Structure 1
């Protein structure tokens, strides 16, 4: 396993964010990544991204158009397969609204000797909170954040999110890609737990060298996203037969239910969705069971 700009394949999952996507691709090119080592997974088949090849000079850019919206979980899984088939050693993952800041890759390459070891599975550039602290993530049946000062220290953690994360091909070969049936949310935590089951190491570099616009969080959490958060967390606990995770899910859901009753709009709709999500998790129903676009347009396609 070699770690260099020539052995990294980059995957960017996008859905109707052309402006953010262009910024992200330009930032990735600025790290020295080769154009033909970049895969854009386009989840909107009606959004033609071919203009990118002329717009920013990416003649060799790989654009893969999904026939349906497979969301972030499906997009990253598809991208992982593409990089593996290309024979590259690492896959660097980004959402279309997150991108590396100048010096990001260089800061990771400083730890080549550690990251090239066989059981080094993932390394993540940490996101920052509103106070400018780096966010480390650990697992206690749920995501448990820890906030530390920005530094260049490579720190072992339990969890990472995929935006700005490098994953070794060794890990993907051994445990497969992330699970596309999560559709959206929780798939990253599931992947980290599976990696740790196989004794792979997970690192976070808390230097703040990643920009995250958080475009999907503008206006708060929509009801359809709450459905996937509720369903996937419970299913993860049931699938792993983890009483700790199920208990953490229950406590979390009670808190969110209280918040809905106290502060949220569309109380009845949100509570109905949470009940449906719980029922689906108990039945093992997975995949895209609620279409975000149709739901946002007023079509309540609850199955």
Structure 2
């Protein structure tokens, strides 16, 4: 527990947004009413839905909200890269990272801050706003292969560890990161654009010996994303298939880079084999298979520019 006599940390929220003004509006209303928050920094990824104009005209509340609109859409990775750097420039001790579609529940930040002396990179349980008993992003429990999908399971797992699920965190959905950790491991890999940038940052933090955890009592509500993963190999595993060519390409490129960098050649080769199986046997699609293999090739070559051909 933190020392109650110590000076409170300067906490700045970084919100990355793109074409979701309505969701951003409700989030900012919530953040402005959050005790312990020193300010909000909004990074707008060149939205064309009036987000920038609305932010510029929006009256200020008790928690100051500032924004920067990027010249081009640089994806979540570019947005969080710039947002983290901006927060450090503004003297943040802790940075609260989130997309525009999350909604921290009352007391979320205060509950997270109870662990500020013990952790470096930690966050809430991210639950379905239509069914708060269900996790939007399942959590793999430490020390095994068990994955939990319900908030009650997270709470049960955390009872023996002071309300924490250690070594498990869902990045960029209401997570706190310390200034010291950012200075140690650097910023988000902006060239990833989308998909895998958050996972890479968590893996980099793990490699640096950071203390990670999910705080079971803290909550962020989030729209449902459905069941993650399409069944394959006779139901023994799943594959992250997306109908979006942009998301599929970035997933193939970035995931292979992450696996090769942090898990080694066998895991990278297993991902290639899994992709071949899925688009040859499970859901035959030669065109999509070529796209995925092209993304993997670009990742191995260090070419992080070709996703731009999928941008409108």
Q: TM-score, normalised by structure 1?
A: 0.80
Instruction: Note if 1:242 corresponds to 2:268.
Output: no
**How big is each residue's C-alpha offset from its partner over 1:33-54, in whole Å with a ceiling of 9 and x where there is no partner?**
55x6211101015445242355
Alpha-carbon distance in 1 for matches of 2:139, 2:8: 26
Aligned to 2:42: 40
Aligned to 2:217: 207
Match of residue 104, structure 1, among 98, 102, 108: 108
Which deviates more from structure 2 when the two are superposed, residues 45-54 or residues 221-230?
45-54
State whether residues 122 and 176 of structure 2, in contact with CA within 8 Å, keep that contact through their aligned partners in structure 1.
Answer: yes
Alpha-carbon distance in 2 for matches of 1:95, 1:13: 5
Match of residue 186, structure 1, among 149, 173, 196: 196
The structure-2 alpha-carbon separation of the partners of 1:270 and 1:5, relative to structure 1 and needing over 3 Å to count, comes to: farther
SS of the aligned residue for 2:120 comes to: strand
Alpha-carbon distance in 1 for matches of 2:146, 2:120: 20
Aligned to 1:167: 177
State whether residues 121 and 202 of structure 1, in contact with CA within 8 Å, keep that contact through their aligned partners in structure 2.
Answer: yes
The structure-2 alpha-carbon separation of the partners of 1:280 and 1:32, relative to structure 1 and needing over 3 Å to count, comes to: same
SS of the aligned residue for 1:286 comes to: coil
Give the C-alpha shift of residue 292 in structure 1.
4.2
Aligned to 1:232: 254
**How big is each residue's C-alpha offset from its partner over 1:168-218, in whole Å with a ceiling of 9 and x where there is no partner?**
11100001011111111111121112111111111112336111125799x
Structural RMSD (CA): 3.3
Query: What residue ranges of structure 1 are gaps of 5+ in the alignment?
Result: 262-266, 295-303
Name the structure with the higher strand share: 2
Aligned to 1:25: 28
State whether residues 138 and 159 of structure 1, in contact with CA within 8 Å, keep that contact through their aligned partners in structure 2.
Answer: no
SS of the aligned residue for 1:63 comes to: strand
SS of the aligned residue for 1:49 comes to: helix
Alpha-carbon distance in 1 for matches of 2:7, 2:175: 15
SS of the aligned residue for 1:126 comes to: strand
State whether residues 103 and 220 of structure 2, in contact with CA within 8 Å, keep that contact through their aligned partners in structure 1.
Answer: yes
SS of the aligned residue for 1:210 comes to: strand
SS of the aligned residue for 1:233 comes to: helix
Aligned to 1:298: none
SS of the aligned residue for 1:185 comes to: coil
Aligned to 1:283: 301
Give the C-alpha shift of residue 123 in structure 1.
0.6
State whether residues 224 and 273 of structure 1, in contact with CA within 8 Å, keep that contact through their aligned partners in structure 2.
Answer: no
The structure-2 alpha-carbon separation of the partners of 1:138 and 1:215, relative to structure 1 and needing over 3 Å to count, comes to: closer
Give the C-alpha shift of residue 15 in structure 1.
0.7
Give the C-alpha shift of residue 271 in structure 1.
2.5
SS of the aligned residue for 1:290 comes to: helix
Give the C-alpha shift of residue 166 in structure 1.
0.7
Matched residues, number = 281
State whether residues 128 and 208 of structure 1, in contact with CA within 8 Å, keep that contact through their aligned partners in structure 2.
Answer: no
SS of the aligned residue for 2:173 comes to: coil
Which deviates more from structure 2 when the two are superposed, residues 231-240 or residues 84-93?
231-240
The structure-2 alpha-carbon separation of the partners of 1:107 and 1:95, relative to structure 1 and needing over 3 Å to count, comes to: same
Alpha-carbon distance in 2 for matches of 1:29, 1:236: 36
State whether residues 148 and 154 of structure 2, in contact with CA within 8 Å, keep that contact through their aligned partners in structure 1.
Answer: no
Aligned to 2:125: 126
The structure-2 alpha-carbon separation of the partners of 1:259 and 1:14, relative to structure 1 and needing over 3 Å to count, comes to: farther
